[in-house]
Structure 1
């Protein structure tokens, strides 16, 4: 089993976590998936590419290599549900639309799940915690930005079309409310993108577990509607769409870093 993540250590008090762009499969999972599931359609497509300018700016970036169909790194190890509405768990058994991922009788057994938890889930979270600690020790504070994307229309998960920008702060528990307001205010200059704070997506395990404003760790999840930067049918990255969206993304990150510098510096 190969290393389940890539960690790039940057020079800013910023860690961008990417738990869902991976497309690798373990042999056991690959053999068990349905033909439809082999397309990995629920991937957070192209997130590392979309955030490449943020990495070049100096951010630390932690990016998963394995598919969420192997294990969902944004769920707790005990698989306690994070939402009362429809969702998927630590070891997903269905697509977002509720159809089975695995051929009948071929879903991973408990032994396989335990191996995956030990070899993929735990190392990712160890790396995340260690990088957060390094950055906070260096700067006195750190911004954790949990980067996600999803199809803009998924009837089982939400009604209608999802807003373009879905900020999650665990209902205000994972970062200072003033930081949330600064991010929303930043979006006003990009009014063609719709936005919401703590709507359908309030932040998953990573945001909720690691966000600790009282310890100068401020965590924000951004769930982006994939129509903002790619073709949702073919999964193809769109340079034209992404050019416009990256301008907003850079503005958001710079706004967050400026707020942290002004309010959290030693």
Structure 2
């Protein structure tokens, strides 16, 4: 964790880019930010350690080799507990604020109901973040100064990629708690127990079927247990940017944290280096897929 007075002394996100983009892929790590403004921590009822439970620790490092392979990587510095760009811009819980939220806010989404809107109410197993209600202006400021610029940059990266290569592929990179169990989905892809990875494609709507199954097969061939869409099919980013009929493909990948991090101390495990090597090979193989994989249109309606 790094403490900052605000995001005027450090950029809230950055694009790590090769000197020249060589492949039609863009990688995105929206939840691995670990810069926590002091004022935000002062508003919170949680300890600096507990508030990190929603953080995708080190995911940007796991996928950092995308850049030498020839693809840009967009990485957040702001934490998910502070602002979640994998939500609609105004998924807001009116009970969190001193003033009424804008009329265009989505206050009835399932994510808001679960405490995980654009401005999250909780982390972990339902732990409230804030001591009291927030001024609405603070939420709107985070949306205007961080959320909207982040999505402008991500959208531009994808548009530029499609213009250069004829299509663009977004890989949205996340981690998941190790306690997630597949008991309710036994038999899916032969998976029972806890998967190592989950590939999400919005149930076939956000990318070509061939891309999803290629990603699954590559990881399975490395010996990993891989699930498909359940329980994570992709969030707002995958849904919003995945338009395969317009040559924009979006795939979400969730990594089981137990593979590389101690979930109590949040320190990297010795296995971290080996997982990085495997993911580097995975990215190399995925980005080397032939063009026809991306020219196929999904069977599911867009």
> Counterparts of 1:260 and 1:114 in 2: how far apart (Å)?
43
The reply to whether residue 246 of structure 1 matches residue 257 of structure 2 is no
Aligned residues: 259
Equivalent residue in structure 2 for 1:215, among 246, 252, 260: 246
What SS does structure 2 have at the residue aligned with 1:179? Answer: helix
| 1:8 corresponding residue in structure 2 | 16
- Over 3 Å counting, the alpha-carbon distance change for 1:172 and 1:264 in structure 2 is closer
The reply to whether residue 33 of structure 1 matches residue 44 of structure 2 is yes
Q: How far has the Cα of 1:252 moved from its partner?
A: 2.9
| 1:66 corresponding residue in structure 2 | 78
> Counterparts of 2:255 and 2:75 in 1: how far apart (Å)?
16
| 1:23 corresponding residue in structure 2 | 34
Give the structure, 1 or 2, with the largest relative contact order (CA under 8 Å, sep 6 or more): 1
> Counterparts of 1:108 and 1:21 in 2: how far apart (Å)?
24
> Counterparts of 1:168 and 1:95 in 2: how far apart (Å)?
22
Mapped contact 2:83–2:118 kept (Cα < 8 A): yes
The reply to whether residue 91 of structure 1 matches residue 119 of structure 2 is yes
| 2:205 corresponding residue in structure 1 | 173
- Over 3 Å counting, the alpha-carbon distance change for 1:231 and 1:254 in structure 2 is same
Q: Which runs of 5+ in 2 are unaligned?
A: 1-6, 92-105, 186-191, 296-302
Q: How far has the Cα of 1:83 moved from its partner?
A: 5.8
Q: How far has the Cα of 1:260 moved from its partner?
A: 4.9
Q: Which runs of 5+ in 1 are unaligned?
A: none
Give the TM-score taking structure 2 as reference length: 0.78
Mapped contact 1:24–1:65 kept (Cα < 8 A): yes
| 1:75 corresponding residue in structure 2 | 87
Q: How far has the Cα of 1:65 moved from its partner?
A: 0.7
Equivalent residue in structure 1 for 2:145, among 119, 129, 139: 119
